[in-house]
Structure 1
Amino acid sequence: MNPSLRRNHPLPLVVQVAFFVCILAAFFIVLSEKDDPREALLQLRLDTDKEAIAQIFWRLDEQEYSQEQSRTFTLMPGFNTYRIVLPKRYDIARLRFDPATRSSRATLHEISLQWDGRVIFNLSGTALAHVLYAAGQVVIEPVAGADTVLLTSTGIDPSTEIDMAAVTRSFRFIQQLKVVAWALLPAALLTLGLCYLSSATYAAYAHRTYPKRPLHWFLWVAVFWVLGLYFYLVTPAVPPQSVAIPLYLAAWSIVVGGCLFIPAFWFVTRQYCAIWSEPPLRLQWLWFALPSLFVWSFYLVAMWPGSMSPDSHTQWQQMLEGQYTDWHPAFHTMTIWLLTRLWMSPAIVAVAQIISLALVAGWGLSVLQYHGVPRPVLWCTSFLFALIPVNGLMVVTLWKDVAYSCAMLALVICLFQVVMTKGEWLLHRLNWLALGIILALVCLYRHNGIGVGVATIIVLLVFFTRFWRGVSLAMLCAVMMYGGVKGPLYDVLEVGRSDPVAKVVKRIKKDLFVRSEQVPEMDVIEPQVKGDASVEDSPSLISKTAVERIHSASRLWRIQPLTEFHARIEYVNMWRKWNGNEYSIKYMSANDLGLDERSLIPSLLEEIDRVLDRSRSDNLLSWMWRPAVFLYALTGLLIMLSWRLRLRLYLLLVPLLANSLPYFLMVIHKSVFRYHYPLVVTGLLLIIPLLFLRPVEPESGLESYGEQCL
């Protein structure tokens, strides 16, 4: 126990109450309904004796009825249901129903109002008769023995009214009570968490990272408050018009900062007790890979013989003709050629992708088990990794990005082992040889992979200087393999050389700094956003294309969905082709190669399409398509673990950022999800296990010295 921690006192009651009230108010503001409903629908069930014109009027407090605030519709003879769309307002005070423009009789069976699908009132019979009152030239009579109301016109302009003010006030009051109830639970949990973490009991056995002075507490709070402000900017938070933006911003930052602060504080200040090193069972990596192999096989059966885009067809044609170009990495096209020696079908490539990603993930989970992650956690991660639709849809698509992501994931796992062993992993020959091969594959499977390889080698040489020999040998192995493929092999196969990176750099230079009058019309993408008109007339500015390029690529750091021009996002190669009111599911682009969709289980394909559509539209599921979620989770988790365990785990971010950050300038027309797939697949595999990572000591050491806690 740290003696300095014994002097900590529990959080004063006044502070506890103040914190609870503050966090409760913040949750109430954030969870409150928006100012107006997204949809307002009035439904009337009427039985009329003749055709007539009816009209619905509405007005707010202290307003008069007007034609501008009305809806006109035709009453048809007989019993009918009429649905009238009302303005999206919660503050409608009165409704007026003009049943006809001439004398007529109508039986009103029911009247109901819905806001966003929720029934606000549904009245019929006697209850309806008590609410309706005659505004002029109409007689209202409940029908004896029937749950209806008879409206009889006595003139040419009959009308009835309903007072909505009491109904809307009651509804809003009930909604606010529900919001308070929903806000009470998280506010109470956060308050209890803070009270426990600030108590003398917890401080007595906490790690030395526990704050010892008020200034330290202030720094903790300030950091997470700033994080709350930042996440307000990158999440879909839209304040109601009735709440001032500064107030909503403060509430949002308190809620997000508090929700992040409590678990992060516990994660950093708790003690980590070393455990015995438990070597994985033989072939444990294969067992961990089985869920993915099983689940992804169904994706392939449903999307047989695999999903292919125009890029895939280009590489397939090169493979058939034996004439390779390096615009799409020729090494990946050669891999396709090698696989098709076994079976001339796109399915063999999809099978290879399924096996590769599943085995790499299984190997990664077995490595995590060796470094102290409990086996049940790893099995949960294995099933999640297999079941999440992102992976299932990607592995059956013939894209170089899948092979590249497999190599990137393997590289991160190697880097993890280097960090956890403080570089000693590089002393073994097979390890540095494997690292060199993986680095070469990263460089060969995508052109920007060479930047990832260079960045990885640099950080290894800088932070693990003692093991420079292993790093140098791995680099030599990677250079020899990369040079052998790009040089002699490409020469023998007469690969058409092209440099996409150079063309991209040239395009960036053209787009970034250019006089506006010199930009051809076809090169300028007009954004659908409002701006200062003076910018349009400026003779020398950063071009619109560059702005659009960077904004589209901001998918890396934005959690909120992009809109308008920037919403042009390519998720996976699967879409719906509409023909009138019907559609067919497509996953293979048009081509002249004789390749088309041949789903072996069409019903399963329809289910996958529904899952894909829901995962992108449901706010509770769309996180899996947001690379920013994985970027922030990995960054925060690795920084905290690095600080707590005194290990350089933050280095795992280097290859991921070296891959994703350049797309801020390279993307132009749309945000392409597959560009950031290495970040997503790494996050899916590592985030949950890293929460349970524990320091590992040799078994003999623990027998000699007993349990050791850090």
Structure 2
Amino acid sequence: MPKNLLRWVIISALGLYFSGSLLFFFMPIRNAAIWIILLLAVVLVAFIYYALRFWPMLRELPRGKQISYAIFGTLFPLFIAASIRGEQPYLTDNHIIVILAVWLGVILAVLAIITAVVYWCLSVTLKPFETRVSRWKIALYALPSIVVSTYFLVAFYPGAMTLDSLAQWDQALTHEYTDWHPVVHTMLLSVLLSIWESPAMIAIFQIVLISAGTGIAGWSLDQARIPKPFIWIALILFALSPVHAISSITLWKDVAYSAALLLFTLLMYMIVRSGGRVLMRWPFIAGFAVTGFMVMFFRHNGFPVFLIVTAFVLIMYRPYWMKLFPVAAAMVFIYQIVVNPVYTALDVQPSDPQEMLALPTQQIAAIVTEDGDMTEKQRDYVNRIFPIEKWHEKYNPYSVDSIKFSWGDYDRFTIYDDWGRYARTYLHLVKQNPDIAASALFKQTSLIWQINEPEDGYTSKYTTHISRNNEFGLVNPVLNEDRKMNAFNYLKNADESIPFLWRPAFYTALALLFTYIAYLRNGWRAWLLLLPVALNTGAVFVGIPAQDFRYLLANSMIMLPMVLISFVKFEPQATEVLDDE
């Protein structure tokens, strides 16, 4: 048999194997029509063909990148397979060999797909130098987001608000602050509402902030000579995403914070692409300061994100530290002044420490409700915190809210009075019940790592109205019935037909893939682009209370710019500071 023919026979056989495995992964294989299996096999054969073309390219890469591909090509497909897996009762009742064969086929199919994508991206070479682009184009590139978000604002005027939004609204009007919401962000809302006391005012601010991010993204990518049609496609897709369209007019602190994180990520891109030279420009340093303040003050976990990312920038671009360090140090100093003496002067009430205990609470609840291994002393202590029967009644594997908001029964002060005992009890319970504790951890953090929503889980996605019968008399008057129904149906249809749009893990996976491609093209400094969102994702993982998409809205915002950034060839890092910069 000719060598070329044999090659195609093997590729075709692999395509059929991958096709059958993927279908069996999601549905009973006997329910799959033959034509679907064959059509999917043809598509996968194309991916396998281009994946094989990557191998000569891989051999030309430095050894470190070859090793990185071996690691990434193993772990990333495993993560994707675990992330998209459903309950699979039709698969798990088969022999273990069949189950392992299907899993192997899915993992290899994902590997072929991502390798083909890597090959296609690295095969594209742009001109390595930047071009001058007028800053006025920022406004032009911001237009898609402005237009779509304004349409949604008119459709659901004057915006959307949940109970969480109303609580912050109350603080903004009364100036009686609690640290449950970021105080500086609440104070900013107070300023905006002094101009126009309407939810629409805050929605407009959010629209402007998000559009500034998209405008700067388009402008900076234009500078890097990304073809304009691709920039416009990315910006239009960003604007039309139901996630961004409805979030932009929903009064959550997470929206402004996510937009700030998008801007911060774009600043990291400018630093890396310029080899650090942009740090010599005072307008950039000013923009870094403004964006950094928003990241620090718009959500509680923003300060460590800013601190760690800035530390990495100072280490990675040491020749420019004299420009950035004084400004960064002043920002940290101001932050400490604000959260200590200023908060004290404003009589800011501290937030409930229970916010930090979501994962331990859920793991203890799982151990109790599944009759895990507990000593009488441990059971008595857990019963003091929350009656045993209440643990059984209130435990939701995907949300801690039903427990922590049981004000009459949940005695949090038992914890606060002796943190040491709580920590010891929790750690011993986890050690005694590792399987139950691990299962509870994975369920509570499902939003972060799982693309496929669990059958017994949920995703809190969006709201289109102000929470009704609120004490402020805020309502949603219908300005245009047709426009409202069109926008509502757009959200509903997207929700039903593309459910993974509301799973942050989908965007995290794509952002990780294209950052890795940027690394292969440019070097290890490309990972700085992902660091702000990675740190934020890690912070949410540690303390996630429920399955609210808004916690990781930033992941969806940075994904599309990251796709185009992966095509950019970065400038080499300078070894010395140029005086004329």
Shift of 1:509: 6.3
Contact 1:549-1:666 within 8 A present in 2 as well = no
Secondary structure in 1 matching 2:553: helix
Of the candidates 430, 443, 456, which is equivalent to residue 296 of structure 2? 443
Corresponding position of 1:357: 210
Greater radius of gyration (CA): 1
Find the partner of 2:544 among 630, 648, 667. 667
* Per-residue deviation, residues 466-525 of structure 1 (Å, max 9, x unmatched): 222223123124224424543565455x2423145x543467667767934422234565
Structure 1 residue 321 displacement after superposition:
2.1
Aligned to 1:604: 483
Q: Say whether 1:496 aligns with 2:340.
A: no
Give the alignment's TM-score, normalised by structure 2: 0.80
The one-letter code of the counterpart of 2:443 is H
CA separation of 1:263/1:550 partners in 2, compared to 1, >3 Å: closer, same or farther?
Answer: closer
Give 1 or 2: higher strand fraction.
Answer: 1
What do the CA deviations read for 1:186-208 (whole angstroms, capped 9, x no partner)? 1442354356556xxxx5xx687
Residue 687 (str. 1) matches residue 550 (str. 2): no
8 Å contact kept, 2:363–2:440: no
Deviations 1:292-343 (Å, cap 9, x if unpaired)?
Answer: 1111111111111111111211122222223222221121121111112221
Aligned to 1:28: 20
Secondary structure of the residue aligned to 1:260 is helix
Q: 5 Å matches for 1:76-225?
A: 176-194=33-51, 197=54, 209=60, 224=73
Q: Tell me whether 473-482 or 627-636 shows the greater mean CA deviation.
A: 473-482
How far did 1:370 drift? 1.1
Q: Which string of whole-angstrom CA distances, capped at 9 and with x for unpartnered residues, describes residues 448-468 of structure 1?
A: 111111111221122222222
CA deviation after TM superposition for structure 1 residue 595, in Å: 0.8
Give the whole-Å Cα distance in 1 for the aligned partners of 2:107 and 2:359: 36
- For 1:649 and 1:456, the matched residues in 2 are separated by 13
Higher relative contact order (CA 8 A, sep 6+): 2
Structure 1 Cα separation of the partners of residues 438 and 83 of structure 2? 21
What is the CA distance between 1:553 and its match in structure 2? Answer: 1.9
More helix by share: 2
Separation in structure 2 between the aligned mates of residue 429 and residue 211 of structure 1, nearest angstrom? 36
Offset of residue 386 of structure 1: 0.9
Deviation at 1:681, TM superposition (A): 1.1
The answer to whether structure 1 residue 336 and structure 2 residue 336 are counterparts is no
Change over 3 Å in CA distance of 1:338–1:254 after alignment to 2 = same
How many Å apart are 1:650 and its aligned residue?
Answer: 0.7
Does the Cα contact within 8 Å between 1:374 and 1:692 map onto a contact in 2?
no
Query: What secondary structure, in the 3-state scheme, does the structure 1 residue paired with 2:194 have?
Result: coil
2:381 counterpart residue number: 518
Deviation at 1:683, TM superposition (A): 1.3
Structure 1 distance, partners of 2:141, 2:109, is: 37
Select the residue among 564, 569, 589 that pairs with 2:459.
Answer: 569
CA contact (8 A) 1:305 1:599 kept: no
Q: How has the CA–CA distance of structure 1 residues 14 and 307 changed in structure 2, closer, same or farther, with 3 Å as cutoff?
A: same
Query: Counterparts of 1:582-597 in structure 2 under 5 Å?
Result: 586-597=465-476
- In 2: Cα distance, 1:256 partner to 1:543 partner: 28
In structure 1, stretches of 5+ residues that fail to align are 1-9, 38-89, 91-171, 530-536, 575-585, 698-710
Letter in 1 for 2:567: F
Counterpart contact for 2:271–2:277, Cα < 8 Å = yes
The correspondence of residues 225-244 of structure 1 with structure 2, limited to 5 A, is 227-236=76-85, 238=88, 240=91, 244=98
1:264 maps onto 2:118 in alignment: yes
- Amino-acid identity (%): 21
- Answer whether contact 1:31 1:183 (CA < 8 A) is retained: no
Amino acid at match of 2:223: Y
Measured on the aligned residues, the alpha-carbon RMSD in Å equals 3.5
3-state SS in 1 of match to 2:184? helix
CA contact (8 A) 1:274 1:696 kept: no
* Partner residue in 1 for 2:575: none
Query: For the structure 1 residues 182 and 218, does the alpha-carbon distance in structure 2 shift closer, same or farther, using more than 3 Å as the test?
Result: farther
Match of 1:287 among 133, 140, 143: 140
Q: Deviation at 1:220? A: 5.8
Shift of residue 254 of structure 1? 2.4
How far, CA to CA, are the matches of 2:163 and 2:36 in structure 1?
50
How far apart, CA to CA, are the structure 2 residues paired with 1:661 and 1:464?
25
C-alpha contact (below 8 Å) 2:515/2:527 kept by paired residues: yes
For structure 2, the 5+ residue unaligned runs are 365-373, 399-428, 573-581
Q: How far has the Cα of 1:541 moved from its partner? A: 4.4
> Paired residue for 1:639?
516
What whole-Å deviation, never above 9, does each CA across 1:45-92 have from its counterpart, x for those lacking one?
A: xxxxxxxxxxxxxxxxxxxxxxxxxxxxxxxxxxxxxxxxxxxxx8xx
Q: Normalising by the residue count of structure 1, what TM-score does the alignment of the two structures yield? A: 0.66
The one-letter code matched in structure 2 to 1:555 is L
Matched position secondary structure for 1:363: helix
How far is the alpha carbon of 1:228 from its aligned partner? 3.2
Pairing partner for 1:627 from 489, 504, 522: 504
Partners of 1:466 and 1:11 in 2: CA distance: 55
Structure 2 CA distance for partners of 1:523 and 1:448, relative to 1, 3 Å: farther
